[in-house]
Structures are given as C-alpha cells and as structure tokens.
Amino acid sequence: MNYRLYEPADFKQLYAIEESCFQPPLRFSRAYMRELVNNANAATWLAEDEDQLTGFAVVKWMDVAAGTIAYIETIEVAAANRKQGIGAELLRRVEISSRSAGAKAIWLHVDVENASAIRLYEAHGYKQHGREEHYYARQRPALIYSKLITASLGEKPN
C-alpha cells in the first residue's frame, strides 16, 4: 500500500470512494469535498494500491485563542479494503500533518452507530468528550472525540 498527499487529478477516484461509503443525505457534496481538499489549511492523505485509491483522510487546522487545533473531517476506506490497517495509517498521517501545522489537539465527530470508527479512534488514544444531538442528516447524533497531540522529533510520514 502506498500513502501520499492528494493531487487535483485524484479527485474523481477520491469522490468515488465518498459515493461508495455514504449515501445522500450523509454524503459530502462534490463542491464541499473540493473545498476541503483544496483548503490551504488542510491535508488530504490518500491510500492507493497500484494506482487505485483505496482510502483517504482529510484534516484541517485552525488558530483559536488557545493555539492551533486540528479537526478530522473524514477518514474513508473502500469497503473491499477495510480491516487491513488503512484507516489506522491514514489516522497516523493526519496526526503527523496536524502536529507539523502546530496543532496541539485534534478532534472529530463520529456517528454514534459507526462502531468500527469508534474502535479505531479509541484504540489510538482518542477520548469521548461529548455528544451532539441532530448533528448528521436524518437527525442522527454524533459523539465528539479529541486527543492531545505532542511533537515527536523526527517523526515524518513515509
């Protein structure tokens, strides 16, 4: 499996994964996804196998009064490629990008029914800090997770 940063030519394959992972109204629109992947304060990591995208993750960071924080917009892995550690590696890479951007903490929302994503985050040190009712379409609630991230000398994605 190869991991690399997004390039504009990747959009068609990236959005095909979005379409396979989420049905309307839970799916990001093409316009919103383009906005995310082109954001100067974001990193989009891709997983690919022989030039075929198998997953991706988008993280963005922002400055707040307490410093820089990061937010994981999404981590998605094509159904045929799940349970191979791709999500965990994408998570590791978005954390490294966030640290490189100066973020001290990273947070996210996750659907309360997405047990596999919850297991992934908890296995990597994320702690639940709340719940937001009616967060997703169809009035579905989200759990709020966060993690402090600290700099590690010499740590770079391969």
Mean pLDDT of 1-23: 94
List, in order, residues 6 or more apart from 94 with CB less than 8 Å away. Answer: 43, 45, 57, 58, 59, 70, 72, 75, 106
28 touches 22 (CB < 8 A): yes
Cα distances (angstroms) measured from residue 74 to each of 55, 152, 153? 10, 24, 26
pLDDT at residue 150 in the model: 76
> Does a structural domain hold residue 124?
yes
Residue 47 has pLDDT above 90, yes or no: yes
> Does a structural domain hold residue 73?
yes
- The domain that holds 88 is classified in CATH as 3.40.630.30
> Does a structural domain hold residue 156?
no
Q: How many domains does the chain have?
A: 1
Residue 9: give the domain boundaries: 2-148
> Does a structural domain hold residue 93?
yes
CA–CA distance, 65 with 63 (Å, rounded to integer): 7
> Does a structural domain hold residue 74?
yes
> Does a structural domain hold residue 15?
yes
Q: How many residues does the chain have?
A: 158
pLDDT at residue 151 in the model: 57
> Does a structural domain hold residue 154?
no
CA–CA distance, 45 with 97 (Å, rounded to integer): 9
pLDDT category, 93, cuts 50, 70, 90? very high
Closest by CA position to 61, among listed 33, 96, 34, 32 = 96
What is the pTM (predicted TM-score) of this model? 0.90
> Does a structural domain hold residue 121?
yes
